[in-house]
Amino acid sequence: MARLHGVLLMVDEVLCGLRYAKGGYCRKHGVEADLITLAKGIAQGVGLSVVAGTADAMAGADRAYLGNTYLRENGAFVAGNLTQEIFEEAEIVARLGESGSALRTQFKTSFERSGIPARVLGSDTMFDIVLPSQRHGRAFAQRCLQHGIYTGYPGKYMSNASMDEAFFRALLPALERALTDYRKDEDMAAQITDASMVEYFAQAFHTTEKACLSNKHYWT
Protein backbone atom coordinates (compact mmCIF):
# COMPACT_ATOMS: atom_id res chain seq x y z
CA MET A 1 0.00 0.00 0.00
CA ALA A 2 2.89 2.36 0.76
CA ARG A 3 4.38 1.71 -2.66
CA LEU A 4 1.00 2.17 -4.31
CA HIS A 5 0.60 5.63 -2.79
CA GLY A 6 4.24 6.66 -3.13
CA VAL A 7 4.98 7.06 0.58
CA LEU A 8 7.73 5.71 2.81
CA LEU A 9 7.08 2.59 4.83
CA MET A 10 8.37 3.24 8.36
CA VAL A 11 8.47 0.42 10.93
CA ASP A 12 8.89 0.95 14.66
CA GLU A 13 11.11 -1.86 15.99
CA VAL A 14 11.97 -0.19 19.29
CA LEU A 15 10.51 -3.11 21.23
CA CYS A 16 11.08 -6.02 18.88
CA GLY A 17 14.21 -5.12 16.94
CA LEU A 18 16.73 -7.01 19.05
CA ARG A 19 14.54 -9.75 20.47
CA TYR A 20 11.94 -10.89 17.95
CA ALA A 21 14.48 -12.60 15.71
CA LYS A 22 18.01 -12.14 14.47
CA GLY A 23 17.78 -9.12 12.22
CA GLY A 24 14.46 -8.02 13.69
CA TYR A 25 10.85 -8.29 12.59
CA CYS A 26 11.38 -6.95 9.10
CA ARG A 27 14.12 -9.39 8.19
CA LYS A 28 12.22 -12.30 9.72
CA HIS A 29 9.09 -11.61 7.66
CA GLY A 30 10.64 -10.09 4.57
CA VAL A 31 9.18 -6.63 5.11
CA GLU A 32 10.92 -4.14 2.83
CA ALA A 33 10.77 -1.08 5.05
CA ASP A 34 12.22 2.26 3.99
CA LEU A 35 12.97 3.33 7.55
CA ILE A 36 13.26 1.38 10.81
CA THR A 37 13.55 2.87 14.29
CA LEU A 38 15.44 1.11 17.08
CA ALA A 39 16.33 1.99 20.67
CA LYS A 40 16.23 0.52 24.19
CA GLY A 41 18.10 -2.76 23.78
CA ILE A 42 20.75 -1.49 21.38
CA ALA A 43 23.07 -0.46 24.22
CA GLN A 44 21.34 -2.32 27.05
CA GLY A 45 20.03 0.67 28.98
CA VAL A 46 22.58 3.26 27.90
CA GLY A 47 20.88 6.08 26.00
CA LEU A 48 21.06 5.26 22.30
CA SER A 49 18.61 5.18 19.40
CA VAL A 50 18.84 4.43 15.69
CA VAL A 51 17.01 5.45 12.54
CA ALA A 52 18.09 3.00 9.84
CA GLY A 53 16.93 2.93 6.27
CA THR A 54 17.58 2.46 2.61
CA ALA A 55 20.08 4.72 0.87
CA ASP A 56 17.30 6.61 -0.89
CA ALA A 57 15.29 7.16 2.29
CA MET A 58 18.30 8.22 4.35
CA ALA A 59 19.39 10.66 1.67
CA GLY A 60 16.53 12.83 2.84
CA ALA A 61 18.39 13.41 6.11
CA ASP A 62 21.05 15.32 4.16
CA ARG A 63 18.41 17.78 3.00
CA ALA A 64 16.63 18.13 6.32
CA TYR A 65 17.50 18.14 10.01
CA LEU A 66 17.32 14.72 11.63
CA GLY A 67 17.31 15.37 15.37
CA ASN A 68 18.77 12.85 17.78
CA THR A 69 18.62 13.14 21.56
CA TYR A 70 21.69 10.93 22.03
CA LEU A 71 23.80 12.37 19.21
CA ARG A 72 26.76 13.37 21.43
CA GLU A 73 26.67 10.39 23.80
CA ASN A 74 29.97 8.84 22.70
CA GLY A 75 29.89 6.27 25.50
CA ALA A 76 26.62 4.95 24.18
CA PHE A 77 28.22 3.98 20.88
CA VAL A 78 30.85 1.96 22.74
CA ALA A 79 28.10 0.25 24.76
CA GLY A 80 26.14 -0.36 21.56
CA ASN A 81 29.07 -2.05 19.85
CA LEU A 82 29.78 -4.21 22.89
CA THR A 83 26.12 -5.16 23.13
CA GLN A 84 26.06 -6.37 19.54
CA GLU A 85 29.22 -8.41 20.13
CA ILE A 86 27.70 -10.04 23.21
CA PHE A 87 24.47 -10.75 21.35
CA GLU A 88 26.47 -12.63 18.72
CA GLU A 89 28.91 -14.45 20.99
CA ALA A 90 26.36 -15.50 23.62
CA GLU A 91 23.58 -16.19 21.09
CA ILE A 92 21.24 -13.95 23.06
CA VAL A 93 18.40 -13.98 20.53
CA ALA A 94 18.26 -17.78 20.67
CA ARG A 95 18.30 -17.69 24.48
CA LEU A 96 15.49 -15.14 24.48
CA GLY A 97 13.49 -17.49 22.29
CA GLU A 98 14.06 -20.41 24.64
CA SER A 99 13.16 -18.52 27.82
CA GLY A 100 10.24 -16.85 26.05
CA SER A 101 8.89 -20.20 24.91
CA ALA A 102 9.08 -21.50 28.48
CA LEU A 103 7.37 -18.35 29.81
CA ARG A 104 4.61 -18.47 27.21
CA THR A 105 4.03 -22.18 27.82
CA GLN A 106 3.87 -21.70 31.59
CA PHE A 107 1.17 -19.04 31.33
CA LYS A 108 -0.81 -20.99 28.74
CA THR A 109 -0.60 -24.26 30.69
CA SER A 110 -1.56 -22.57 33.96
CA PHE A 111 -4.63 -20.98 32.38
CA GLU A 112 -5.72 -24.30 30.89
CA ARG A 113 -5.12 -26.24 34.10
CA SER A 114 -7.12 -23.67 36.08
CA GLY A 115 -9.97 -23.64 33.57
CA ILE A 116 -9.61 -19.92 32.97
CA PRO A 117 -10.61 -18.50 29.56
CA ALA A 118 -7.54 -16.75 28.15
CA ARG A 119 -5.68 -16.44 24.88
CA VAL A 120 -1.92 -16.14 24.67
CA LEU A 121 -1.02 -14.38 21.42
CA GLY A 122 2.25 -13.51 19.77
CA SER A 123 5.77 -14.80 19.42
CA ASP A 124 7.79 -16.54 22.11
CA THR A 125 9.86 -13.46 22.87
CA MET A 126 6.91 -11.00 22.87
CA PHE A 127 3.35 -12.01 23.57
CA ASP A 128 0.03 -10.72 24.89
CA ILE A 129 -2.56 -12.31 27.17
CA VAL A 130 -6.18 -11.54 26.30
CA LEU A 131 -9.02 -12.12 28.79
CA PRO A 132 -12.80 -11.83 28.26
CA SER A 133 -12.97 -8.13 29.22
CA GLN A 134 -10.98 -5.21 30.54
CA ARG A 135 -12.46 -5.90 33.97
CA HIS A 136 -11.18 -9.48 33.86
CA GLY A 137 -7.80 -8.26 32.66
CA ARG A 138 -7.39 -5.66 35.38
CA ALA A 139 -8.44 -8.21 38.02
CA PHE A 140 -5.87 -10.69 36.69
CA ALA A 141 -3.11 -8.07 36.73
CA GLN A 142 -4.03 -7.06 40.27
CA ARG A 143 -3.87 -10.66 41.51
CA CYS A 144 -0.50 -11.12 39.80
CA LEU A 145 0.89 -8.01 41.48
CA GLN A 146 -0.37 -9.20 44.85
CA HIS A 147 1.64 -12.39 44.41
CA GLY A 148 4.83 -10.77 43.18
CA ILE A 149 4.35 -10.98 39.41
CA TYR A 150 4.78 -7.57 37.83
CA THR A 151 2.38 -7.09 34.94
CA GLY A 152 -0.46 -4.92 33.69
CA TYR A 153 -3.42 -5.08 31.35
CA PRO A 154 -3.00 -4.58 28.49
CA GLY A 155 0.61 -5.68 28.84
CA LYS A 156 3.42 -7.04 26.73
CA TYR A 157 5.15 -10.13 28.12
CA MET A 158 8.82 -10.29 27.16
CA SER A 159 11.51 -12.76 28.06
CA ASN A 160 15.06 -11.92 29.02
CA ALA A 161 18.30 -13.87 29.07
CA SER A 162 18.43 -13.98 32.88
CA MET A 163 15.29 -16.12 33.17
CA ASP A 164 16.76 -19.37 34.48
CA GLU A 165 15.40 -22.48 36.18
CA ALA A 166 15.23 -20.67 39.54
CA PHE A 167 13.09 -17.96 37.98
CA PHE A 168 10.57 -20.44 36.60
CA ARG A 169 10.51 -22.42 39.85
CA ALA A 170 9.53 -19.23 41.67
CA LEU A 171 7.08 -18.10 38.99
CA LEU A 172 4.95 -21.24 38.88
CA PRO A 173 3.62 -21.25 42.48
CA ALA A 174 3.13 -17.48 42.44
CA LEU A 175 1.12 -17.72 39.22
CA GLU A 176 -0.95 -20.61 40.56
CA ARG A 177 -1.85 -18.57 43.67
CA ALA A 178 -2.73 -15.54 41.55
CA LEU A 179 -4.99 -17.63 39.30
CA THR A 180 -6.68 -19.27 42.29
CA ASP A 181 -7.60 -15.86 43.70
CA TYR A 182 -8.66 -14.66 40.25
CA ARG A 183 -11.02 -17.63 39.82
CA LYS A 184 -12.71 -16.89 43.15
CA ASP A 185 -13.57 -13.32 42.22
CA GLU A 186 -14.33 -13.34 38.50
CA ASP A 187 -16.98 -14.87 36.24
CA MET A 188 -15.40 -17.95 34.67
CA ALA A 189 -18.38 -18.42 32.36
CA ALA A 190 -17.37 -15.35 30.37
CA GLN A 191 -15.64 -16.32 27.12
CA ILE A 192 -13.26 -14.53 24.80
CA THR A 193 -15.14 -13.20 21.80
CA ASP A 194 -14.32 -11.00 18.84
CA ALA A 195 -15.47 -8.08 21.00
CA SER A 196 -12.90 -9.09 23.64
CA MET A 197 -10.15 -9.02 21.04
CA VAL A 198 -11.24 -5.69 19.56
CA GLU A 199 -11.42 -4.16 23.05
CA TYR A 200 -7.94 -5.41 23.93
CA PHE A 201 -6.27 -4.26 20.72
CA ALA A 202 -7.99 -0.89 20.89
CA GLN A 203 -6.53 -0.37 24.36
CA ALA A 204 -3.10 -1.83 23.63
CA PHE A 205 -2.44 -0.52 20.13
CA HIS A 206 -5.17 2.08 19.47
CA THR A 207 -6.38 0.05 16.51
CA THR A 208 -9.85 0.34 14.99
CA GLU A 209 -12.45 -2.41 15.03
CA LYS A 210 -12.14 -2.81 11.25
CA ALA A 211 -8.36 -3.24 11.46
CA CYS A 212 -8.71 -5.83 14.22
CA LEU A 213 -11.35 -7.93 12.49
CA SER A 214 -9.59 -7.83 9.12
CA ASN A 215 -6.52 -9.41 10.73
CA LYS A 216 -8.21 -12.27 12.57
CA HIS A 217 -5.85 -14.75 10.93
CA TYR A 218 -3.09 -13.36 13.16
CA TRP A 219 -5.03 -14.11 16.38
CA THR A 220 -2.99 -17.20 17.15
CA dihedral 111, 112, 116, 118 (to 10 degrees): 70
Cα–Cα distances in angstroms (integers) from residue 150 to residues 70, 127, 156, in the given order: 30, 15, 11
The whole-model pTM stands at: 0.84
**Average model confidence (pLDDT) for the chain?**
89
* DSSP H helices in the chain: 2-5, 24-29, 55-63, 74-89, 92-114, 134-146, 165-185, 194-205, 209-213
Listed range (107-111, 140-144, 194-198) with the worst mean pLDDT = 194-198
The architecture (CATH level 2) of 2-89 comes to: 3-Layer(aba) Sandwich (3.40)
Q: What is the assigned CATH class of domain 92-218?
A: alpha beta
Residue 121: partners with Cβ closer than 8 Å, 6 or more residues away: 127, 128, 129, 130, 219, 220
pLDDT confidence bin for 77, thresholds 50/70/90: confident
Parts of the chain belonging to CATH 3.40.640.10: 2-89
Distance, in Å, from the CA atom of 138 to the CA atom of 219, rounded to the nearest integer, reads 21
To 10 degrees, what angle do helices 92-114 and 74-89 make?
70
Any idea which of 19-23, 135-139, 140-144, 152-156 has the lowest mean pLDDT?
Answer: 19-23
Chain segment 203-216, per-residue pLDDT in tens: 988 888 888 888 88
- DSSP structural state of residue 102: H
